Amino acid sequence: MGSKTLITIKPLYHNQTKLVAIHFEPDETVKHYIQAFSDVKWTETYKTFYTTFHKERINQLFRYFRKKGWYVNYDAFKTITEQPEAPVLKKPEIINKLPPLIDEQVAQTLQFKRWLEQKRFSENTVNTYVEVTALFLRYLNLKKIDTITSRSIEQFNYDFIFNAQKSVSYQNQCISGIKHYFNFKNIVVEAFEIKRPNKDKKLPNVLSKVEVKSLFDSTQNLKHKTLLSIVYSAGLRIGEAINLKLIDIDFERGLIHIKAAKGRKDRYTLLSTGLIPLLHTYIKHYNPKVLMFEGRFGEPYTQVSARQVLKKSLLNAGIKKYATLHTLRHSFATHLLESGTDIRYIQELLGHSSPKTTMIYTHVSTTSLRDIKNPFDNL
């Protein structure tokens, strides 16, 4: 093996998210070494190991594999064009000019990541905060700024976020990520206050009951149907569904115990009586050990795989309406409201901290709208 081993890393795009696929000739030693790298997972859909992508990930992988004396082919990242996740930038040169992190900064961002993980932030939040912090540090390198001041932060916000036409949500993530980095490094910046812009108030997409039934009927794979069914029937976030354990399902009481959900809160939600036969069939067939939905190596089923499942089912059902896995949660809440369930109970089932969050479903429910007499009908 030794220097003859070749590792090829290539971009892997899924749902406009850029990942890093890791390819190699079958070898158990190589496989175990890859699995030992932080944040590496297996995708059954693409039959490859992969990890999340950020600006320093390629350098990290290169150094990691070179420790073994292996060849690393990363040519695909030299020519690949980034898929835009936001509107076209007004000043793309700002991003293009950002220099790489120095070794000390790379080490700091890795320590920052571990610090965030110990605070039990979600995986997505950790990756986002680390990425935006790395961009901020690279911006400081570009401007040759040694001491962080409120002025440098405001300038980064203006050049990299405002002028680049980044979304309001992304701007808020940047502010949060940088502030957490300051806490991690015990950095105090006087008069640092960037106002968080209000998010656009968009109504959620909702599938009708007919569309939901069609979605399930067109899903033939037992695991896929069970996953989509439990997400909808219990109003789960996808992260809650893929981390669900067998012991969390109380068949006798007809409840599902959701543990350490968003905000590290526990809650109970509904276990549909109509879902129980499907669950028993699924458990008997797949015999899951701990997690309800296990991947190839007994790890949690990945969100990437779950999104691919929904995409295929929507296509098979002929549903052209834009929908995500979270759309099933929105649909669950809306259908409960339309059937007369009190908004306070829906809030508890969804695990919302504030009733204001749940009230958005009153704007997409058709029950009250059907009772309104349209003036056109009286013309």
User: CB within 8 A of 295, min separation 6: which ones?
Assistant: 41, 42, 44, 301, 302, 305
Instruction: Give catalytic status of residue 237 as yes or no.
Output: yes
* Residue 83, token pair as written in the block: 């898929």
Residue 143 has pLDDT above 50, yes or no: yes
Instruction: Give catalytic status of residue 18 as yes or no.
Output: no
Give the SS3 label for residue 41.
strand
Predicted pLDDT at 368:
58
Average model confidence (pLDDT) for the chain? 82
- Closest of 110, 150, 154 to residue 133, by C-alpha: 110
Mean pLDDT, rounded, for 264-269: 84
pTM: predicted TM-score of the whole model, two decimal places: 0.55
| Residues 93/169, Cβ–Cβ less than 8 Å | no
Active-site residue, selected from the candidate residues 68, 185, 262, 312: 262
State the architecture of 93-185 in CATH terms. Answer: Orthogonal Bundle (1.10)
| Residues 18/83, Cβ–Cβ less than 8 Å | yes
CB 154: neighbour CB atoms within 10 A? 14
Instruction: Give catalytic status of residue 14 as yes or no.
Output: no
What would the 3-class secondary structure string for 299-341 be?
CECCHHHHHHHHHHHHHHHCCCCCCCHHHHHHHHHHHHHHCCC
Predicted pLDDT at 85:
41
Pairing of the two strands 249-250 and 48-52: unpaired
DSSP state letter for 23: E
Cα 364 from Cα 335, distance rounded (Å): 10
pLDDT digits (tens, 9 = 90+) for 169-223: 777 788 888 889 988 988 877 655 555 555 556 677 889 999 999 999 999 999 9
Predicted pLDDT at 16:
61
Active-site residue, selected from the candidate residues 237, 301, 330, 335: 237
Ordered DSSP codes for 250-311: ETTTTEEEE-S-TTS--EEEE--TTTHHHHHHHHHHH--SSBSSB-TTSSBPPHHHHHHHHH
Instruction: Give catalytic status of residue 361 as yes or no.
Output: yes
Identity at 266, one-letter amino acid code: D
Residue 82 has pLDDT above 50, yes or no: no
User: CB within 8 A of 35, min separation 6: which ones?
Assistant: 49
Task: Tell me the CATH class for 2-79.
Answer: alpha beta
The top-scoring range by mean pLDDT among 59-63, 95-99, 373-377 is 59-63
Active-site residue, selected from the candidate residues 57, 329, 330, 335: 329
Here the contacts of 338-342 (C-beta below 8 Å, separation 24 or greater) are 338/365, 338/366, 338/367
Share of the chain above pLDDT 70, in %: 83
Instruction: Give catalytic status of residue 280 as yes or no.
Output: no
CATH assignment of 209-369, among 3.40.30.10, 1.10.443.10, 3.20.20.330, 2.130.10.10: 1.10.443.10
Looking at per-residue pLDDT, the higher value among 88 and 302 belongs to 302
Reported as half-sphere exposure (CB side, CA atoms, 13 A), residue 292 has a value of 29
The top-scoring range by mean pLDDT among 56-70, 79-93, 246-260, 347-361 is 246-260
Lowest mean pLDDT across 7-11, 199-203, 335-339: 199-203
Q: CA 378 from chain center: how many Å?
A: 49
Residue 86 has pLDDT above 70, yes or no: no
| Residues 307/14, Cβ–Cβ less than 8 Å | yes
What are the boundaries of each domain within the chain?
A: 2-79, 93-185, 209-369
pLDDT digits (tens, 9 = 90+) for 301-335: 888 889 999 999 999 999 988 899 999 999 998 88
